[in-house]
Every structure is written in C-alpha cells, then in structure tokens.
Structure 1
Amino acid sequence: MHVLGTIVRFIVSAIVLMIVGYLVPQFAVGGFWSALMLALVIAVLGWIIEGIFGKKVTPFGRGIVGFLSSALVIWLAQFVVGNMRVTVLGAILAALVIGIIDLFIPVASPYQTTHNRHRG
C-alpha cells in the first residue's frame, strides 16, 4: 500500500501544481505530465536539500527558511522539467499558494519514515 500512497501523493501534487499554474501569473506548467514530472523533481530536490542542510530547511519545514527553500526548489526545477517556466517572483508566489493549498489539502512529506506513519 506504500507504493499506491506515493503514487496518489504525486498525482495530487501534480494537480495542485496545475492549479497553481492557473492562479500564479509568472508560473506556468505545460500540462499534467509536466506537472507530474515537476512534482517528482521537487521531491528529489527537496530530498537533496534535506540531506545537505537537515529537515528544518526542507520545503516541508515550517517558517521562513522552509518557505524560501520551497521557492528556490520551484525555481530550480524549471531547469530540469520541460514545458515549465517560472520567474523568481513566480516561484515565491507559487510557494505561497502551495503553502495555502497545503493547509486545506495536506500532502504528507515524502521524507516521513514508515515507522512514524504506522505507530500503534
């Protein structure tokens, strides 16, 4: 069931990124497959940042550092994902909108360990 949960998380993330593309003027994703690839790239870049700097700096960390690292990850992802373009301001606005959407549709952190999810 862990694989299915991961697939669902990436699909939901791709849909959220497509919504953000409609809401944020300087953020554009070409379509569903680009958004899905973007979700994967954001997860990988976030994992790398967490490995280097620790959990408090990841996009899933709270506070201004997590917010800014989320914007940086979004901006860097455009160099890996085709059919995507974003300005620095667009990345900041996208990180803000994604944070707001995450309040209502939380997508669990991919860094969460299996034993933390299955306590009991």
Structure 2
Amino acid sequence: MAERERNPENVSIGSVVLRVVLTALIVGIAAFLTPGFSVSNIGALLIAGVVIAGLDYLIERISGVDASPFGRGIIGFIVAAAILYLTSFIVAGFNISILGAIIGALVIGVVNAIIPGRAF
C-alpha cells in the first residue's frame, strides 16, 4: 500500500489538493512559530503551498531525494530549507531569511510528524 501511495504515476487530483492544503497549513504554522519567516496573507500562503508542493514533487521525481525535512536525514532537511528559501523568490508576500528557512524546515519536520499524512 505504501508503495502505491509513493508512486508518482498513482497520484489523484484529490491527493494533490490535500497535499497543497496540508503544505499551506504546515507552512502557516511554521511561519507563526519561526522568527525571520512571514507570510503576508492567505493568498500568498496558498500559492506558497502550491509552489512548495510542486518543487518537492519535482525534486523527488528528478533526484529521488525525499524533500521532507526528515525524509532523508540531513539531505532532506537541507533540501527542505532550500525549497523554503527558493519559494521566497517565487511568491510575493512569502518572506524568509536563510536562518528562518533552516529553523522553518525544523519546525515543518516537527509539525509534519504530528499532523498525519505527508504534506512536505
């Protein structure tokens, strides 16, 4: 069952929407808890959710690296921080410093462990 869920060819629109919504929720929580990390409005948060989910999918598809903060140990953590930082250049209203991206990746990893399902 887990193999079927992780296979990119078996992705439904419902799972994509759920992933984007969970990503936006977790990023919102991380922005609230992390210094140097802010999101100006709900629209920017939702767009950031789409961008982060898309970047995560592309990185996982191209390199095979699970970009969740604890997906592949330190590599996954670094990739997650890089995705957060890169998103700040793509989405207006999504502001994060390098240190904020590092702390945010840690917060996202902890929140990801608490909220069921894989969001980031």
By the TM > 0.5 criterion, same fold?
Answer: yes
Match of 1:99 among 100, 109, 119: 109
CA shift, 1:109, in A, is 5.7
Q: Tell me the alpha carbon deviations over residues 51-74 of structure 1, each in whole angstroms, 9 at most, x when there is no partner.
A: 332235x23623010011000010
Give the count of matched residue pairs: 109
**Which residues of structure 1 form unaligned runs of 5+?**
111-120
Cα 1:12/1:47, change in 2 over 3 Å: closer
Q: Per the alignment, in what secondary structure is the counterpart of residue 85 of structure 1?
A: strand
Instruction: Say yes or no: does 1:75 pair with 2:85.
Output: yes
- Please tell me the root mean square deviation across aligned C-alpha atoms, in Å: 2.1
Aligned equivalent of 1:44, options 54, 77, 95: 54
Q: Who is 2:75 aligned against? A: 65
* Runs of 4+ off more than 4 Å: none
Question: Which entry has the higher C-alpha Rg, 1 or 2?
Answer: 1
1:108 counterpart = 2:108: no
**Residue of structure 2 aligned with 1:20, choices 30, 41, 52:** 30
TM-score, normalised on structure 1? Answer: 0.79
CA offset at residue 77 of structure 1? 0.6
Distance change (3 Å), C-alpha of 1:76 and 1:12: same
Q: Are 1:84 and 2:116 counterparts?
A: no
